[in-house]
Amino acid sequence: MAESDSKIDTIPPDKIPRHVAIIMDGNGRWALARGLPRLAGHRAGTENLRRILRASVEFGIKYLTIYAFSTENWGRPPEEVRGLMRILEDVIDRELDELDKEGVQLRHIGRLERLDPRLQEKVLQAIERTKDNDRLILNVAFNYGGRDEIVCAIQRMIRDGVKAEDVTAELVSRYLFTAGVPDPDLIIRTSGELRISNFLIWQAAYAEWYVTPTYWPDFDKEEFRRALEAYAQRDRRFGGISPAVEDKVHAG
Ligand code: IPE
Ligand code: IPE
Ligand code: MG
């Protein structure tokens, strides 16, 4: 076994996050630093996604959510928006066979409505084709915004005639795009920005964060492993106190 593969064994399986969500940020700055157009950065970012997907399967992560296009990203120059749409289309065309073979189940969170009808159809077909795969659930957040998701959930609850007294946190979760998916345990943001940028604002309530200055196209398997190692060291208290402290309290 290669050295790099043996190191992951040091993370106990119960310390591997079940759900990792990634804000894949910094493609533009990666390109700028190389004197390349921003779209070259997005292409490089897409290449990197392959590596991270493969690594996620190896590390035993069950759910991976990636932020690929936000509701706010429509505000970018039209040429960049068009380029990002084309990249989504190319990824489906080129990678679907491989993803399917590797047992990846593709899902989408966000709204498809605003996309070109042909692209919408492609996404729906990819979802349908991979729906029985269960090795890794890949949620692609595309035209996704956390506020939009909550607005959409409220609208649907009202339309369904949900009574005020029946509204619970569990019910709200079931109305979100992520219904049925456990909340993210670990959220990774590349490129050093310390903000949530409208990503999983409800689901992130108790997520652990890992922010790295590395731009997304350079975020490799080794750094991914470091993020997982950092996560494994965290003491997740969920508002309580950690078991070690509790033992002391009882002993004393
Ligand atoms: C993230 O990279 C990809 C998308 C938002 C689509 P950016 O394009 O935001 O890269 P920076 O932040 O400008 O470097
Ligand atoms: C968040 O990155 C969206 C995606 C990674 C798809 P942005 O680059 O759009 O976020 P801000 O503008 O820096 O907050
Ligand atoms: Mg950015």
How many Cα atoms sit within 13 Å of 234 on the Cβ side?
20
- Nearest ligand, CA 28: 1
Q: Catalytic site residue 73? A: yes
Cα of 193 vs centre of ligand 3, distance in Å, is: 8
What was the pLDDT predicted at 3? Answer: 44
Model pLDDT for residues 32-88, shown as the tens digit of each residue? 999 999 999 999 999 999 999 999 999 999 999 999 999 999 999 999 999 999 999
Cα 222 to Cα 201: distance, rounded to the nearest angstrom: 28
Of 9, 14, 48, 73, the catalytic one is 73
Maximum separation of any 2 CA atoms in the chain, in Å: 66
CA–CA gap between residue 232 and residue 223 (Å, rounded) = 14
Ligand 2: residue whose CA is nearest its atom 9: 73
Q: Is the pLDDT of residue 13 over 80?
A: yes
Which residue segments constitute the domains of the chain, with CATH numbers given?
13-251 (3.40.1180.10)
- 2 pLDDT band, cuts 50/70/90, is very low
d(Cα 67, Cα 173) in Å, to the nearest integer?
A: 19
pLDDT digits (tens, 9 = 90+) for 104-131: 999 999 999 999 999 999 999 999 999 9
72 close to 148: Cβ distance less than 8 angstroms: no
Give, using CA atoms, the residue closest to atom 8 of ligand 2. Answer: 25
Is residue 50 lining ligand 1, measured as CB closer than 6 Å?
Answer: no
Closest-lying ligand 1 atom to the alpha carbon of residue 215: 14
Query: Catalytic site residue 116?
Result: no
Residue 6: pLDDT over 60? no
Share of the chain above pLDDT 70, in %: 96
Q: What is the number of the ligand closest to the CA of 87?
A: 1
- pLDDT higher than threshold 90 for residue 252: no
Mutate-to-test residue for ligand 1 from 22, 23, 24, 27, highest number of ligand atoms within 8 A of CB: 27
